[in-house]
Structure formats: structure tokens, C-alpha cells
Amino acid sequence: MMPEELVAVLDFGGQYSHLIARRIRECEVYSELLPFSTGPSELRRLNAKAVILSGGPASVYDEGASTCDSEIFQMGLPVLGVCYGLQLMVHQLGGHVRTTRHHEYGKTNLRILDGSDLFKGVGDRIVAWMSHGDYAESLPEGFETIADSENCPHAAIRDRNRKLFGVQFHPEVSHTEHGTDVLRNFVTIANCRPNWNPRSIIEDSVREIKSKVGNERVLCAVSGGVDSTATAVLVHRAVGEKLTSIFVNHGLLRKDEEETVKALAKDFKLNLVYVDASDRFLQELKGVTDPEEKRKIIGEEFIRVFEEESVKLGAFHWLAQGTLYPDIIESARSGSPASRIKSHHNVAGIPEWSRFKTIEPFRFLYKDEVRKVAAELGLPDEVVFTHPFPGPGLAVRIVGEVTEEKLRICREASSIVESVLRAKNLYDKVWQAFAVVGDDMVVGVQGDHRQVGHMVTVRIVNSTDGMTADWTRVPYEILEEISSRITGEVRGVTWLTYAVTSKPPSTIEPC
């Protein structure tokens, strides 16, 4: 579902680029991350109401530095340059950018010189997050300074007549005081309508799906997670009995997952077809150790199963999926200068030979936005707030080859992690918690005997949207209970470790 208007964020490869779009959405205005090369004609086609130029790692003077079409500044749209975006705006419009003697990284005291528009309501001083080695030495004609800092004389700039703005700091990060207020002021300047909310998303999606599908039939993959379940309920609201939901048990599920899915389908009157394909998936994965290859094998096998089932059930033209915006970004389908992080099975795994047309109502949504939509659709809290579970299932939590032994250990250990967190009222306070198992074998002592068994790693993280994450500082006594239960209850485990690496530099899932 694509809204009627948007704030376009042109991505120059900055580490915080996606956060800009998220903060704009928090203002109930739709925003999307687009390639930095997106030009005026495409912006008009998308009905962009404003443009934001993101930060980036380059200097505007670097050979091959990313740049935008300078005609964007002549479109009459409000433009906000953030960090590199400010420098690029200054450089392209006739000002001068140079390397600063005193690089600014981290929190900086900002003095507000004009609080009439961009800084309306934020006060005379704020603490802002800086991360730059270049700065604007002189401004283009028509610009004025509206904020400064000790080491940055033009920390925020404005050309009031052309509605061009620039900030050298990062309003999108949580470290910047009133950062969201600054972005909200910008979308107010752009006269954006605050209509990006769960109810409008549902209404617009239902209308679009009805228009697309017509009298054709739809298959929807459901897994028990909030993404696929909300997708099925939403599509059912749009097309009714023309929807058939398929739950494929690929043998890589969480403990008792299949019974949960069947109960949900019954509660929401979804026409569910259950397919036990666990043997064929495990056979296809036999001997495969490369994470990308595992993901692609699972994605392609999913489509084969759907193709086969659709033949049995009759003619289907559409496949509905719970693809999310971060899936597209991480699979490098956003056009960003960023590289592919990992292929998501529902993005990169769909083969060219598939005859299905896809319906992806959440492909522009972040996880927390999907949760809000799911709640609006009436899904129970245990589904709305269930921890994210990858489409390839436990295969991406098993390092190396997927075997029956490692699957058993991973499934049982992960269930214990969740069980302990629920008992301690911590499950709903963390983003994701699970166990990882690989091929490392270590010596332990069980029943006074030497025992060689698997090493299990527990991963518990906090996040907002899965794009970044921090490892959770779990109290030692809880880790001790998790360790004691896993080594005591899960046969074949002798050691337990705890992952303390955030994303970045790691990813949340190990594979």
C-alpha cells in the first residue's frame, strides 16, 4: 500500500538514514527511503511533499561522492539537508564546505538563534548529536544561520524564501533533544497531512487489495507470527472467501508452533490448509552450510510447495506475504548505496519461474507499525507482541548444517529461554530472545562423568524495528536459571554462552 503523499528521504548511505523515515512516520506522515539519485520527475510521480537529504560517510569533495539532482532545490518543495545533506546543499548552491579542525562526534550543545519555524517550541538551547568532519564555511546566497555550536558556526541554516533548510546534527537519533520535534516542524512547514496511522493503513490497504485482486483468488502464507497472521486477516477482510491460507510446516518451527497457528486460523475463520513438508525441506538442506544458500533454498522450496498446493486447490493468481520494509532494505532492494546484509526468504527467495503475483500490504511498514495494525485488526496480544521469528525458522539459528540433533537442541533451548523470560515478566520488555546452536563441541561434567556436548549461545536483544539492536543486560540470576535449565533439561548440551554484540556490527540472527 503506497500512500497518496510522502516525505522522500534520499539515502546517501548514512548509518542513521532509515531512522529519518521512522521519525517522520512517528509524526503520522508517511516517509520512504529512496536512492540518492531519485530525480524531480520521480519525486513528482510519487507526489512527494518534501525532501530530506540524509547523512553519509563521504565528503562532498571526494571523487565519486554521491550527489543529487540540483533541480530538486528548484521544485518549490521544502528540502532539509541532514549532516552530509546540509554540506551537499551548500556545495551545490554556491557555498563552501571545508574540513573542520575540531571534528564533532557525539553530544554537542546547540544554541538556537531563531525559533520561528524549524526550531519552534524547542527552546534556546538543546543537546544535539553530531558526527561530522566537514562543515559549511560560507553559505550560499539567500541562506542564514539559525543555530550554531562551539565548533560549528552554521549548525543549522535556512533559506526562508525557497524553504530550504539544513542541520549539521542528527535530529533522527534519540540522543538529540527535541529531534522529533524538529522533524515534526519540518513536515508542518511542508503542509503534510498527519494521516499515516493504523486505521488509515488498513482502509487504504483493503481498498488497494480489492482493486488489484478483482475476482481472482489469493494464497497467503501464514506462520503464526504477527506479520503473516496480520497479513492473512487483512487480506481476508479485503477478499473474503477468495483467500486460502496455507501453513507450511517446514520442520524448522518453534516448539508447538503448528498448534498455535491452527487455533488462530480457526478463531479468525481463515480457510487454512496445513501442509507437512518437513521431510522435503530437511532433505534439501542436507549438507548445506552457507547461510545465504540456506535462506534461498528455503524461499524457493516455499514457492514450490505453494505452486503444488495451488494446483490441487484450483487456480490461484496471487500470493500474499508479510514482507516488511526492513526485509527489503536488508536485501538491498531499496536502491540504497548500502550493501546487502542478508537475503530475506520472502524477498530474494522468490524465483523468476514463479507464476504468482505478490500482495505485500506491509512492505512499506516497520515491525512496530505492523504491531499497531495487528492490534487495530483485533489480533490477540500473544500474537501482536510475539517475538519476531524468521521465515526460514530455526535454520538461521543453526550455524552450519541443519541436522535433526541441532534442530531438537535449538527448539528446546529456545523454548526454555522464552519460558524463563515470561516467568520473570521480561518477555514483553525485550525485542527477541532465542538460542543458537552450531558445531562447537565442548567438554562438560554430567553425573560425575566426562561428557562432550554442544555449546549453546543465548541471544537476547532490545530494538525498535530490527534495523539496529542492543544486547540486553539480563540480571545474572536469570542467566543462571536459563543456563541451569538448558544444560539440565536439553540432552546433549554441556556449555551455555551469552551473546553480547549489538547490531551493528553483528546482525540479530546469526545466519
* Catalytic residue chosen out of the listed positions 170, 250, 387, 454: 170
The secondary structure of the chain in percent helix, strand, coil, rounded to multiples of 5, reads 35, 25, 40
- E strand or H helix at 129: strand 125-138
Q: Beta strands of 403-447 (E only): which ranges?
A: 432-446
Residue found under cell 486460523? 265
Q: State the helix-helix crossing angle for 367-376 and 198-213, rounded to 10 degrees.
A: 80
Cell of 387: 517475538
How do strand 6-11 and strand 31-35 relate by DSSP bridges?
Answer: parallel
Give the CA radius of gyration of the chain.
Answer: 25
- Residue 170 designated active-site: yes
- Residue 369 designated active-site: no
Report long-range pairs for 288-292 (Cβ below 8 Å, ≥24 apart): 288/401, 288/402, 289/400, 289/401, 291/342, 291/396, 291/511, 292/342, 292/343
In Å, what is the CA distance from 69 to each residue of 32, 41, 73, 111? Answer: 18, 11, 8, 32
- C-alpha neighbours within 13 Å on the C-beta side of residue 291: 16
- Residue 96 designated active-site: no
CA distance 417 to 490: 12
CA distance 277 to 340: 29
In Å, what is the CA distance from 73 to each residue of 7, 79, 163, 297? Answer: 15, 7, 9, 46
Cell of 69: 539532482
Nearest to 361 by CA among 212, 147, 156, 485: 212
* Catalytic residue chosen out of the listed positions 172, 257, 360, 369: 172
* Catalytic residue chosen out of the listed positions 83, 192, 220, 511: 83
CA distance 415 to 430: 15
The one-letter code for the residue type at 17 is S
Phi and psi torsions of 335, nearest 5°: 85, 10
CA distance 177 to 191: 23
CA distance 431 to 224: 17
Active-site residues: which are they?
Answer: 83, 170, 172
